[in-house]
């Protein structure tokens, strides 16, 4: 559209003259936004005849202004240069002002800058409306939008020679942070100039946003790098070709070798999960894979997560892993299956117990297999845990399995694990056996004398080869396990009876720790009584301040077939039955109180009846009484052996033995 600028300017000038002289305007002679601006300037008493801008910052103030806005100036400057290139030689100048109207930066031909300086259009001058009347910077800031002010539209006469196109620069929150302006001679006024300024101010706003986002990304990235570097899992990043591009210190530590640049399939055994991770962006978790470290192969629990672009295309993946023994020991810690006892938890001053501890301490220092023998309840498991905790493997897992408690058919799968589909009911994905779980640590095989013969052969092979093969599988898995066995049977007798393999016995019995029964070390009863009383009353939150005289004598005379476990149970019952924080003789279990003397106590539990008719009669009635007690307890606990054992203060195995001795079957007890 062609605009007759000269004619238009004559009309504007007349309107301006009228307004300045009378304060009135003929409707339609001037744009509303200019008329409103003139009105604001009039109200603010801006002098239309002023010759220059009077509000200018001193040198220090200008320095402060520029340093406070240096990021903005740095971003805007290249755009100002580009803008200036378009108008160079045409007497235009490019101006950047802050949101209070102070000019921070300006670019132009020397001559134009000189002319501008005559009006104090210089860095540090303030171009708000209320200072210098209607103008590009001030009116754009007031209206919060781009404006073009030409010739007589300016409120002050001295600016009528200029045309100004100004556009605000917004931050992310929609607030004005600056104004960009292009000023030149009035006769060169053109609407396109405003378009150029608007485009440049928008580009600056975009650049500020990009810079802020980059800064946020940089922060996020540095936080992620910190996490990546410090997580306790091994972490690896692979690219689309499965090549490792990054690895964290834990990964290096676990595998002990250089990883960056290697193919993931050369670090872990090849698995279709890695392919699917990259080609189908399919994550996986807790996959058991063999890893090839500098110290040989080790089993790891591996999880993978794809890294994708926003369109879903793969950009590699991140892989987390941990050696299985570490995972297991963590799991043990949480499930309470870890070894908690140490040698100083073993109470006793008798020669027998001190000798046993001495051998066990020596055993802890090396890696040979250990056989612990002792009656039920003598503390075989405490010894096993203490050996583990004093050994160099203390950081590794301590895994226990009771060979008598597991059903015959399950022992093999418990010990060696199985693969998926190995048998009906086998878990998906298979299951590692205790040998694998204990790798790097200690495997405690309790009641080894009860292990079925066929499993003894497999166990022997594993001990010789230090490798297991899961049931139904063919993969050979290296295991690094220290074996501690315990038995309450005389294994030499079991060998004679062909119940136990001689070759296995010699492999297990490298170091023998023999724990004497409690009846052979009555001097320990006092110590154990004090220790257990304190422990139990604390656990039950039942303080005991007085123990009736005589109790300890009774305990000393008793035969303790259930050893320390039985003593523990007796004390627990007495603490529960205490009267006014006193343990009274009355609270002694009838078995101990009634038998009173050592000889009768022995008859009951050793089944070694004396020749004396009276004591034999007493013994018989005690035996019958005990038989009846077991039957009654089985009935009241629906055949639950553990509950019966707990109530009688005996181990489950002792109860089983007594049931066999008294010829009681579980079902019979319900008759």
Residues that bind ligand ATP (CB under 6 A): 346-348, 374, 376-382, 446, 486, 488, 564-565, 568, 651, 653
Nearest-Å Rg of the Cα atoms of the chain is 46
Cα 121 to Cα 604: distance, rounded to the nearest angstrom: 116
Per the listing, tokens 């800058």 go with 113
Q: Is the CB of 104 or the CB of 592 nearer to ligand ATP?
A: 592
Q: Is the CB of 48 or the CB of 374 nearer to ligand ATP?
A: 374
Task: Identify whether the C-beta of residue 486 lies closer than 8 Å to the C-beta of residue 448.
Answer: yes
234 sits in which H/E element:
strand 234-238
Least Å from the CB of residue 531 to ligand ATP: 6
Q: What is the 3-state secondary structure (H, E, C) of 455-520?
A: HHHHHHHHHHHCEEECECCCCEEECCCEEEEEECCCHHHHHHCCCCCHHHHHHHCCEEEECCCHHH
Least Å from the CB of residue 592 to ligand ATP: 17
Q: Is the CB of 117 or the CB of 512 nearer to ligand ATP?
A: 512
Q: Is the CB of 244 or the CB of 403 nearer to ligand ATP?
A: 403
What are the residues whose beta carbons fall under 8 Å from the beta carbon of 538, sequence distance 6 or more? Answer: none
Q: Is the CB of 369 or the CB of 488 nearer to ligand ATP?
A: 488
CA 359 vs CA 353, 354, 469, 607: distances in Å: 10, 9, 34, 32
Nearest CA to 164 among 178, 145, 143, 185?
185
Least Å from the CB of residue 393 to ligand ATP: 19
Q: Is the CB of 328 or the CB of 565 nearer to ligand ATP?
A: 565
Least Å from the CB of residue 340 to ligand ATP: 10
Cα 671 to Cα 669: distance, rounded to the nearest angstrom: 6
Tokens encoding 488 = 């309450």
Dihedral sign from CA coordinates of 576, 579, 581, 586 = negative
Q: Is the CB of 290 or the CB of 509 nearer to ligand ATP?
A: 509
Least Å from the CB of residue 345 to ligand ATP: 6
DSSP symbols for 88-144: TTTT-EEEEEETTSBEEEEEE-HHHHHHHHHTT-STTBB--HHHH-S-HHHHHHHHT
What are the residues whose beta carbons fall under 8 Å from the beta carbon of 145, sequence distance 6 or more? Answer: 167, 168
Least Å from the CB of residue 594 to ligand ATP: 24
> Whose CB is nearest to ligand ATP?
379
Least Å from the CB of residue 545 to ligand ATP: 23
Per the listing, tokens 């802890």 go with 364
Q: Is the CB of 524 or the CB of 618 nearer to ligand ATP?
A: 524
Least Å from the CB of residue 280 to ligand ATP: 51
Least Å from the CB of residue 649 to ligand ATP: 11
Q: Is the CB of 205 or the CB of 563 nearer to ligand ATP?
A: 563
Q: Is the CB of 324 or the CB of 339 nearer to ligand ATP?
A: 339
Least Å from the CB of residue 361 to ligand ATP: 14
Buried b vs exposed e over 394-404: b needs ≥16 C-beta within 10 Å?
Answer: eebbbbbbbbb
Cα 188 to Cα 217: distance, rounded to the nearest angstrom: 45
């Amino acid at each position: 559209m062609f605009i007759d600028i000269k004619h238009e300017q004559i009309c504007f000038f007349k309107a301006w003259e009228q307004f300045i002289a009378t304060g009135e305007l003929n409707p339609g002679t001037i744009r509303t936004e200019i008329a409103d601006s003139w009105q604001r300037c009039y109200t603010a008493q801006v002098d239309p005849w002023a010759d220059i801008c009077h509000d200018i910052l001193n040198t220090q103030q200008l320095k402060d202004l520029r340093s406070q806005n240096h990021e903005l100036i740095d971003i805007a400057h290249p755009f100002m240069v580009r803008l200036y290139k378009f108008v160079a030689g045409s007497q235009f100048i490019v101006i950047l002002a802050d949101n209070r109207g102070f000019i921070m930066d300006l670019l132009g031909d020397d001559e134009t800058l000189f002319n501008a300086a005559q009006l104090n259009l210089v860095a540090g001058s303030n171009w708000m409306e209320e200072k210098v009347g209607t103008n590009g910077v001030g009116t754009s800031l007031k209206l919060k939008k781009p404006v073009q002010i030409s010739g007589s539209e300016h409120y002050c006469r001295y600016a009528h020679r200029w045309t100004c196109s100004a556009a605000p620069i917004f931050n992310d929150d929609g607030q004005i942070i600056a104004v960009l302006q292009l000023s030149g001679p009035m006769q060169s006024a053109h609407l396109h100039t405003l378009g150029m300024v608007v485009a440049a101010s928008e580009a600056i706003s975009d650049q500020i946003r990009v810079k802020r986002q980059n800064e946020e990304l940089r922060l996020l990235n540095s936080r992620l790098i910190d996490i990546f570097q410090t997580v306790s899992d091994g972490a690896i990043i692979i690219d689309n070709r499965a090549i490792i591009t990054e690895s964290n210190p834990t990964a290096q530590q676990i595998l002990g070798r250089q990883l960056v640049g290697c193919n993931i399939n050369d670090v872990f055994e090849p698995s279709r999960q890695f392919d699917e991770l990259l080609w189908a962006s399919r994550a996986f978790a807790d996959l058991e894979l063999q890893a090839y470290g500098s110290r040989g192969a080790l089993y790891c629990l591996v999880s993978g997560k794809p890294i994708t672009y926003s369109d879903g295309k793969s950009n590699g993946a991140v892989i987390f892993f941990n050696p299985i023994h570490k995972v297991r020991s963590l799991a043990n810690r949480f499930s309470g299956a870890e070894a908690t006892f140490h040698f100083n938890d073993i109470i006793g001053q008798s020669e027998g117990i001190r000798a046993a501890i001495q051998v066990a301490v020596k055993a802890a220092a090396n890696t040979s297999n250990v056989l612990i023998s002792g009656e039920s309840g003598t503390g075989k498991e405490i010894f096993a845990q203490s050996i583990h905790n004093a050994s160099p493997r203390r950081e590794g897992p301590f895994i226990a399995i009771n060979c008598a408690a597991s059903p015959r058919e399950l022992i093999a799968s418990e010990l060696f694990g199985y693969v998926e589909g190995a048998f009906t009911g086998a878990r998906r994905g298979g299951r590692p056996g205790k040998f694998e779980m204990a790798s790097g640590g200690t495997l405690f095989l309790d009641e080894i004398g009860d292990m079925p013969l066929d499993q003894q052969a497999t166990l022997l092979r594993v001990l010789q080869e230090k490798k297991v093969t899961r049931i139904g599988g063919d993969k050979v898995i290296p295991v690094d396990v220290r074996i501690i066995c315990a038995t309450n049977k005389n294994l030499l007798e079991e060998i004679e009876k062909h119940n136990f393999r001689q070759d296995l016995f010699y492999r297990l019995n490298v170091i023998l720790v023999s724990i004497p029964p409690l009846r052979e070390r009555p001097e320990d009863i006092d110590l154990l009584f004090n220790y257990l009383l304190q422990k139990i009353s604390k656990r039950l939150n039942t303080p005991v301040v007085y123990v009736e005289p005589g109790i300890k004598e009774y305990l000393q005379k008793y035969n303790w077939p259930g050893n320390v476990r039985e003593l523990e149970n007796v004390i627990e019952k007495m603490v529960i039955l205490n009267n006014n924080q006193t343990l009274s003789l009355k609270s002694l279990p009838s078995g101990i109180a009634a038998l009173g003397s050592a000889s009768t106590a022995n008859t009951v539990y050793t089944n070694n009846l004396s020749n004396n008719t009276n004591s034999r009669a007493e013994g018989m009635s005690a035996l019958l009484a005990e038989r009846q007690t077991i039957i009654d307890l089985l009935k009241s606990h629906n055949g639950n052996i553990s509950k019966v054992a707990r109530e009688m203060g005996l181990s489950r195995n002792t109860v089983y033995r007594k049931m066999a001795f008294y010829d009681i079957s579980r079902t019979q007890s319900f008759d």
